[in-house]
Structure 1
């Protein structure tokens, strides 16, 4: 995504939703409502967005027959299969990025809020930018 479309500038506030390590090292972000967003967005809507992102990453890391076969076939082909098709994890990461983009367009941007895909930060945190001009 181009930096020109972001609301990050000298008139914006950045806050970070940190990873939640209470259940181990799985990709999960804290489901808390930052006080900086008070009055800008409904707390339940914001927490629902974070929960949905968490559920997408939980699905990405889940084990199933499909992921087992995907890994077996990749191993048997010397991992050349991974050059031809995206993995289940890659599909889920793209779905999370698409969901964040849709929520930015539909819910957050009209309220002066911009959420950045956590993959851009190495899945360490979700960056949220709040425009102070609105």
Structure 2
């Protein structure tokens, strides 16, 4: 355990890569499993594809119409959704399971490879945000002019 240390990195300063949602099969929650060029040399394509496929499978299970989902919807309708207070919905369970899965994969696979995957639920299930921990966004250079001076607006004639 010697030589191990903990470092803190501000994710907003890291270079980002976004994995878009795949709408080719309709509105089902599914993310593109194409290997992004930004991750070339940072992680094996097979590891990435396996991660995305596992995540897509979890969302597919939540989207599937099953006997349990029909009973859940019917019970919610009959009780005016008060049943949701007692029993979490399939989607809530899948979102929690996915969050745990992503946290585990971050610890085991991605962080050791200088990557961090943000849960897509934080972005409304539209994109998967990948932060590249060893590449930083260049900070804007301060201008020579005073930043306190605001330009004066002139009315049109």
| TM-score above 0.5 | yes
In the superposition, the TM-score normalised over structure 1's length comes to 0.91
For 2:56 and 2:66, the matched residues in 1 are separated by: 18
CA shift at 1:84, angstroms? Answer: 1.3
Q: Which has the larger radius of gyration?
A: 2
Counterpart-to-counterpart distance in 2, 1:127 and 1:76: 38
Higher helix share: 1
The unaligned stretches of length 5 or more in structure 2 are 1-6, 136-157
1:84-123 residue CA offsets vs partner (Å, 9 max, x unmatched): 1101111011111111110000000011100000000001
- The answer to whether the 8 A contact 1:16-1:128 is kept is yes
Cα distance in 2 between the residues matched to 1:5 and 1:21: 36
Equivalent residue in structure 1 for 2:95, among 93, 96, 110: 93
**Would you say 1:28 and 2:34 are equivalent positions?**
no
Q: Which residue of 2 aligns with 1:8?
A: 11
Task: Tell me: CA distance 1:58–1:127, structure 2 relative to 1, closer, same or farther (3 Å).
Answer: same
On the 8 A contact 2:20/2:32 being kept in 1, the answer is yes
Unaligned stretches of 5+ in structure 1? Answer: none
The structure, 1 or 2, with the larger RCO (C-alpha pairs under 8 Å, 6+ apart) is 1
- Structure 1: which 4+ aligned runs deviate by more than 4 Å? 4-7
The Cα of 1:7 is off from its aligned counterpart by 5.3
Matched position secondary structure for 1:16: strand
1:4-51 deviation per Cα after TM superposition (whole angstroms, max 9, x unaligned)? 9765142x2101000001100110000111111111110110111011
- Whether 1:54 aligns to 2:56 is yes
C-alpha separation in 1, matches of 2:12 and 2:42: 18
Q: Matched residue of 2:41: which SS?
A: coil
CA RMSD, aligned part only? 1.6
TM-score by length of 2: 0.78
For 1:68, the equivalent position in structure 2 comes to 70
- Aligned residue number for residue 40 of structure 2: 38
